[in-house]
Amino acid sequence: MKKLPLKIAFLLTVFFTSFNAFSQDFQGKAYYQSKTTVDLDEFGGRDMSPERKKQIQERMKNFLEKEYVLTFNQAESIYKEEEKLEAPGGGRGFRFGSSLSSGPKYKNVKTKEVITDQEFFGKQFLIVDELKALEWKMGTETKQIGQYTCFKATATTTSDAFDITSFRRPGRGRGNDREEDKKEKDSLGSKTKGDKENPEVKEPKIIEVVAWYSPQIPVNQGPDGYWGLPGLILEINADRTTILCTKIVLNPEEKEEIEKPKKGDKVTQAEYTEIVTKKMEEMREMYGGRGRGGRGGGRGRN
């Protein structure tokens, strides 16, 4: 049998020793900050001035930068966004982004169950699916996050959730833009020609995930849908998103019951992604149609 590197053998020893020391009613809370970056050039921003891009990024800030709380025990967890007041006029023009934000996510690492309570355009969904495990490769690199020593692990995945960056913004209506769109579609060849319903949806891309976990907190939990390492995951870097733990409270005085979400129309993740994708395609077409109508009306005025 191949010998484990000394660091990995040590952290596994720490994990199992700590695991046995924690009581069955152990509970903890981990607070996370999530930040996602978006390349505005993919949304028709190539011709925007730096000032205009900065304005749009400020509008999108509430959608792209969020705070969450993960309440967990040895088997279950629930990951909820912390509510915060929106500044007057904040997010105007990107308010639909709130409909793409995930609701409370429940995970059970023993029963391999994941349930998300999600509202989308006024309709409540209950996304119920199997908790899929990533094939983590544990490394020996370490770093300190707060008072916790964390070890690095990597994996690759393809997201089955809706990704707003998989949609390009339609052309602004200028002749050159439309011609560029046509050329780009043609250059994609068979990837788009057979897809009449969603001609501008990109193929799922492989995402590299880098996780930092601490065996000092012996649970197989982590933020969002991430889990499966010998210690709580304190940081995730995946594609354009970084999730970082900023605070941990172990065995709080007032323990919170971890309940499964129950309300909403029951769907799988794949079914929900299809619903959202179709709705976003409708919005894309409506946006393009409204733009053409508005420009036509403008030309007809004196």
The answer, yes or no, to whether residue 6 has pLDDT greater than 80, is no
- What local confidence, expressed as pLDDT, does residue 145 receive? 97
Hey, which bits of 148-206 come out as E strands? Answer: 148-157
> Does the pLDDT value for residue 199 go beyond 60?
no
Mean pLDDT for the stretch of residues 206-213? 95
- pLDDT, tens digit (0-9, with 9 covering 90-100), for 88-111: 554 444 444 555 567 899 999 999
Question: What rounded mean pLDDT belongs to the chain?
Answer: 76
Please state which architecture CATH assigns to domain 6-160+204-267: Clam (2.50)
List C-alpha distances in Å: 238 to 34, 116, 194, 278: 11, 20, 30, 25
Whether the CB-CB separation of 230 and 10 falls below 8 Å is answered with no
CB-based contacts of 136: which residues, under 8 Å, 6+ apart?
153, 154, 155, 211, 228, 229
pLDDT at 131 over 80: yes
Compute the average pLDDT of residues 226-244: 96
Q: Is the pLDDT of residue 302 over 90?
A: no
What residue segments make up the domains of the chain, in order of their start? 6-160+204-267
